[in-house]
Amino acid sequence: MIEWTTEEEAANLKRLLSQVENKAKFAQDFKIPGGASMLSQHQSGHRPINLEAASAYAKGLQVSLFEISPRLVRLLSDLPPLMPGDDPTVQKHRRALRLYPVISSAQAAAVGEGSALPHLGDALDVEFGRGNVSAGSFFLQLEDDSMAPEFRAGDRVLIDPQVKPQPGDCVVAASSGQRALFRKYRLRGGDAHGTQVFELVPLNPDHPVLRSDELALSVTGTMQELRRRFWRR
């Protein structure tokens, strides 16, 4: 199970509270221990969030305790049975979920060149999901219409850097110094030196097809999941 640093936990809480207009009233209404002053210290990272406060935040923000603090969920999961008659071999409170950073194409290009994933506080957003992909996986937020109509700007795709792409897969790839591209992967055979040549193919014909024997292209990872949000106007 993922566990954040105090700074990451604080950054996530600050993100969740960004939609709360009156934080002093929120602290009062949902009985945050220590009131608005402690709320400020929690979201700045000066004080770690305790279980009582995390429960109050989860109730007030209408999210799960896991979305406030995986650290506290892990501690609860490691406890003996909470109620008489509970089977100690059944871990009722453990959730096989992870938190993934949602990053931009510029951040994904840096990852493709060997940089570490951005900290959660530096990501565009976070997404929760099952932990069945590699540790370096992330969500890329799409920024253009190059893969329309199947993919739209604003969609988020889960990318696993450890999955080797097969022809027809959708991948994230980049050329040195450029923003990462989300495209369909297509093989074109070997070049004169025996190196495998691939193409990055947009689904929208208004965007160009790119070839690895013409540009210095490298694949960062392969898509595993698509998430789309439908916004009310």
Per-residue HEC secondary structure of the chain comes to CCCCCHHHHHHHHHHHHCCCCCHHHHHHHCCCCCHHHHHHHHHHCCCCCCHHHHHHHHHHHCCCHHHCCHHHHHHHHCCCCCCCCCCCCCCCCCCCEEEEEEECHHHHHHHHCCCCCCCHHHCCEEEEEECCCCCCCEEEECCCCCCCCCCCCCCEEEEECCCCCCCCCEEEEEECCCCCEEEEEEEEEECCCCCEEEEEECCCCCCCCEECCCCCEEEEEEEEEEECCCCCC
CATH of domain 6-77: 1.10.260.40
Average pLDDT over residues 189-217: 89
Domain with CATH 2.10.109.10 in the chain: 98-227
Domain with CATH 1.10.260.40 in the chain: 6-77
Task: Kindly report, residue by residue over 80-108, the tens digit of the pLDDT.
Answer: 554 455 554 444 434 456 778 899 999 99
- Rounded to two decimals, the pTM is 0.63
Confidence of residue 123 (pLDDT cuts 50, 70, 90): confident
CATH class of 98-227: mainly beta
pLDDT surpassing 80 at residue 199: yes
Task: Kindly report, residue by residue over 37-74, the tens digit of the pLDDT.
Answer: 999 999 999 999 998 899 899 899 988 888 898 888 77
Highest mean pLDDT among 71-75, 111-115, 139-143, 186-190: 139-143
Average pLDDT over residues 195-202: 92
